[in-house]
């Protein structure tokens, strides 16, 4: 069993859950992707291995894995949520609104914000997940060119 799956099994057991074959399969699919997957992508990949795993099983498992901090959900308003495994306590992304390129940011970016929040607001067990949306340099250049072209046509 892979180290990530072994650690996940231990975390699930700490919370009173078992690593069922379906949970194992879903967790492996997300972990092996090495990036972000939508529910549809997870379902497609899981059903390639076992066509009897239902969409409701995927949703229930995703909810469980999120609740025990094994996977992270990120999404922009109006977009379908994307899922990936968690490595560490903080999880930050820059996401391009045009091409959907995703850049993982250094966990140190926000410094000790979680400690500051705990101290100032007496809020405990904080995990941070920043999603910043904008445009990558390539898409920004294309958008600027399109705007300039539109202005010239008017």
What residues are designated binding site for Zn(2+)? 96, 99, 136, 139
DSSP string for 53-74: --HHHHHHHHHHHHHTTSEEEE
Which structure tokens are listed for 18? 């078992």
Pairing, β 102-105 against β 92-96: antiparallel
Q: What angle do CA 103, 116, 129 make, to 5 degrees?
A: 25
- Please state the residue numbers annotated as binding site: 96, 99, 136, 139
Cα–Cα distance measured from residue 105 to residue 95, given in angstroms and rounded to the nearest whole number: 11
């Amino acid at each position: 069993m892979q180290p990530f799956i072994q650690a996940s099994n231990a975390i699930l057991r700490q919370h009173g859950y078992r690593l069922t074959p379906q949970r194992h399969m879903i967790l492996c699919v997300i972990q092996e992707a090495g990036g972000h997957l939508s529910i549809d992508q997870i379902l497609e990949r899981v059903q390639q291995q076992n066509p009897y795993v239902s969409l409701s099983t995927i949703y229930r498992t995703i909810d469980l894995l999120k609740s025990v901090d094994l996977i992270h959900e990120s999404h922009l308003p109006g977009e379908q949520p994307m899922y990936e495994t968690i490595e560490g306590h903080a999880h930050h992304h820059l996401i391009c609104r045009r091409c959907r390129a995703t850049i993982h940011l250094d966990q140190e970016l926000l410094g000790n914000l979680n400690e500051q929040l705990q101290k100032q607001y007496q809020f405990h067990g904080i995990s941070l997940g920043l999603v910043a949306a904008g445009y990558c340099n390539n898409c920004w250049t294309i958008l600027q060119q399109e705007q300039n072209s539109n202005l010239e046509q008017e």
